[in-house]
Each structure stands twice: as structure tokens, then as C-alpha cells.
A and B are shown apart, each in its own frame.
Chain A
């Protein structure tokens, strides 16, 4: 029971972090028509920016300032980089974001070094929030939960209940028509790219100290975020949300399960000491996202909620 409740909570938190990253990516995908390989690098930038800002001021200023800075970097990349590459087609755009990801990785290593930095949970939130079944639950995780849910609500409100959100949605599907109606589509695209990067940055700010802040964090998170976007359905926020939750929960539960192949397939005569029988469910957890990716592309190529194929 204890494992279930804690896995559920942790899974939801991980899922919300994944969604924060993939929501920006899926919006940018709808707009560009290609996946932005550098998206997780903006997540990493968020964590490092927050680490440096928190070092000279405090976490709360970093929480606001770091995502804004990441968003500005993203908007600049769109305006002065991607926009000129766009004319040369999707392959050029894809390669551009690919190169950008490596560029950001190297810059991060030059500025902050190759090892993990000591980006910590703020003291104010560094206490156990409540005790359940004799185990303590850290307050910072509850904080991540609240920030994520707040972000989710704000994103939903802006996209569905404001005129600016309607213009964005229309521009994603009918950019020419939106231009003919007098809306500045290039500026809309720059803003969406910037906002998407800012969301990734925010995920870095609140996730970097919960997980780890090192130069490998982008490379580790990047593929999983792609899985979320593809499984959810390219361009669908609802799909990305469902996929992020599903992945978050599945991965967390798999890690929490204390069982091996021998326990499950014991009736086949598999022993715990054999090589196959010794494989634990927990050790399979990192495989789950990619298994899902492969399966969904075979069975339902447009993803859970997507309206177009890859």
C-alpha cells in the first residue's frame, strides 16, 4: 500500500515535469512541422541558469528569472536562426536544432564544468511535508506538483480562453489565413517558440534540483520527451498530457516493483538464479518509454490523440 501511494505521487510529479517539457515541444512541433532536437537543452539551461541566479540571489528570484531568460534565448534562436533556415525545408531545420543541442551542451560544459553542480532544493522547502505509513514525504515534491498544476491551468486558460490563445491555435493550423486576417504570424511563431522554451526552462528550474543538474541531463531527458510527444500524438497538448502521465506512472511503478522475471514466469520453471530469471522489473524501467514508442508507431502511428501521421 505504501509503495502504491508513494509511487503514485512520484509518478504524477514525474509525469507533470515531462508534460511541462513536452507541452512546449508539441506546440513548437505543430508550428514548425519538425521536432526540435534542442528542446531538452533549454530544460538544461533552465536548471543551470537557476543554479547561478540562486547562487547570487535566491531560489525564488531564480524561479521567475531563469525561465524568462531561457524564453528570451529561445525567441532569439527562432528569430535569428530558425527563421532563415526554415526557407530551406524541414531537413535543414531538423539538422539546425540537432547542431544547436550539441552547441548548448558544449557551452554548458565550458561555463559550468563537466560535473554535476550543487543545485539544491531551497531551505524553505527542505522539510518533510507529511508522514504516511511511517515514511516522510518531502515538501519540495508537493511544491513541484503545485507549480506544475498552476502552469497547466495557466496554459489551458491562455490557449482556450483568450484571444491571443485563439490566434495561436489558428496560426498553428492555418498560418496563411491568419496572416491575411492581419495577424503578425512570424511574431506569433517567435512567441510560441520562446514560451515553449520558457516552459522547458521552468521544468529545469524545478526539476534540476529534484533530479540532478549536470551536462548529461539534456541527453537523458531529450529522448523521453520525444516519446511523450509522439505517443501523445504530434501537436496535441491533451495527448502529450496523457502520454506524460502514463509514462511517468509506468516508469515510477516499474522502479517500485520488487519482482523479477523468476517471480512472474516461475510457473515456467524459471529460477531466480538463472540469467533470464534474475532480470528485475525495476531494471526494465528505462526501456518502457522506448518500448511504448516502438509499439505506438506500429499500432497507431498518429499517437493517442494526434490528428496527423508522422
Chain B
């Protein structure tokens, strides 16, 4: 049995006085795809932010055997943890190619993909390589932000709500892309609302409610648990 790549133990987080995460436990194995489900406001995005150090975490977060809670975000990134935030945060005044260049952490250490290879894989982006990123469509921006993080050669990538606000056809494309990333051997923590995408890709499912993990299981098991869906997911 190999060691988990990421271990989250008793993670708490606060926004001012409100106690948002109340002891989250989570494990991700190398190359594993995990879906983190739950209703809006239960703390899924905060979990992602706390792991990445954007929200001060209280608890124990270990990545590849090293404690990362309290580390500066660039150090966490250098350990091989990539983050695609919900806000996407592309650099709008730079071209698609320049955005990708900024994803490279160290020009002397080439990653899995070069910029040209990345553009070959995603023809929509290739067509727009020299356009300003700010004029891309929502789906293209989402692809760009994922590609940009991949340029940094992460071993685990946390993707927060990638399909939010996208048209159904584009949702399908983004889903395909996440499946491609998984096939390349990158572990993924996918924060997602849409069960169709999450259950198609994930090897394991976590459901959050009120700042805690309330269910953990395989997609097959999850499909039989109408009670969980009713209590924690359906509106």
C-alpha cells in the first residue's frame, strides 16, 4: 500500500468569527481522482483555499510527506501542488501564450509539456495563442487556466468549480479535458456541483455538509445512496 499523496487531518478554518471548516479529514493517493461534492456554502471551496494557504488553515495538511499548513503559497506550488481557483484568474491583458509562460515555475526545469505541446492538445487555445486572454469565452478561459497550472508540472491539481457558468456543450469539453489530465497521471481534487462530470471521472467521492465530510465512497456505492443525495446534495 503506497502512502497517500495528500493527507488532511482535522482541518478547521474561520472567516472572521464564523467557523467554516469543522474538522475536515481527507486523503488522496498518487494519481487518484477525487470529487468533492456538496451544496453551495458548505465549505468545499474553503477546503481548497485552506489547503493552498489562501485561507489560514488550522489542522494538519501533509503533502508528499511534508507539512504544508502555514507555508507560503509559492512554496506549496513548488512542492507540486497546483490550484485552479473558481475565479479562474487568467491574466486578461496578456496573450494566451504569455499566460502559459507564467505557469512555468522554473525555465531551467522543463515540465511534462512544452507550450507548443500544450497548444497542440487544445486546438481552441492554439487558434487564439496570440490573442489577449481577456477576450476568450468562459470555456476557453477555464481551459487556459487549467493548462497554465499544468505548465507548472503539478503532481496533484485542485480544480474548483470548473464548469460553473458554462454551456452544456462546453461542460462536456471541460470534463473531457479533466479526464485527459487524469490519464496523464496527475492526481485531481475536483470540487464540482455537477454529478454527471464528477461521477464520470472520480475514483472516490467525498460529500461535505456543514464544514465536515459527511460521506466517503466509490461512485458505484454513491449511486445507490439516495439518502445521502437527498440529505446533502439535492436542493
- State the A residues within 8 Å of B (CB): 163, 166-167, 169-170, 173-174, 176-186
Contacts of A186 in B (CB 8 A): 72
Known contacts A173-B91, A176-B54; decide if A181 and B72 are in contact (CB<8 Å): no
Total count of chain B residues near the partner, CB < 8 A: 25
Interface of A, secondary structure class, is helix
Given that A166-B102, A170-B94 are contacting pairs, would A181 and B77 also be in contact in the complex, using a CB cutoff of 8 Å?
yes
Tell me the minimal C-beta distance from A212 to chain B in angstroms: 40
| Closest chain B CB from A153 CB (angstroms) | 20
Q: How far is the CA of A166 from the CA of B78 in the complex (A)?
A: 19
Contacts A166-B98, A170-B102, A185-B74 given; indicate if A180 touches B83 (C-beta within 8 A). Answer: yes
The docked-state distance in angstroms from the alpha carbon of A169 to that of B132 is: 14
Among residues of A, the one whose C-beta sits closest to the C-beta of B78 is A182
B52 CB to closest chain A CB (Å) equals: 6
Residue of B nearest to A180 (CB): B83
* CB atoms of B101 and A180 under 8 A apart: no
List chain A residues, Cβ under 8 A from B101.
163, 166
Q: Which of A176, A181, A182 has the most CB of B within 10 A?
A: A182
Q: Does B124 contact A (CB under 8 A)?
A: no
Residues of A within 8 A of B76 (CB): 180
Interface pairs (17), CB distance under 8 Å:
A166-B94, A166-B102, A167-B102, A169-B91, A170-B91, A170-B102, A173-B93, A176-B73, A176-B85, A177-B85, A180-B77, A180-B82, A180-B149, A181-B152, A182-B105, A183-B102, A185-B74
C-alpha spacing A73/B93, complex, angstroms? 32
Report the nearest B residue to A173, measured CB to CB.
Answer: B91
How many angstroms between the C-alpha atoms of A166 and B94 in the bound complex?
8
Given A163-B101, A170-B102, A176-B73, the answer on whether A181 and B149 have CB atoms closer than 8 Å is yes
B107 at the interface (CB under 8 A from A): yes
Distance, CA A48 to CA B101, complexed state (A): 41
Interface residues of B in 21-64 (CB under 8 A from A): 52, 54
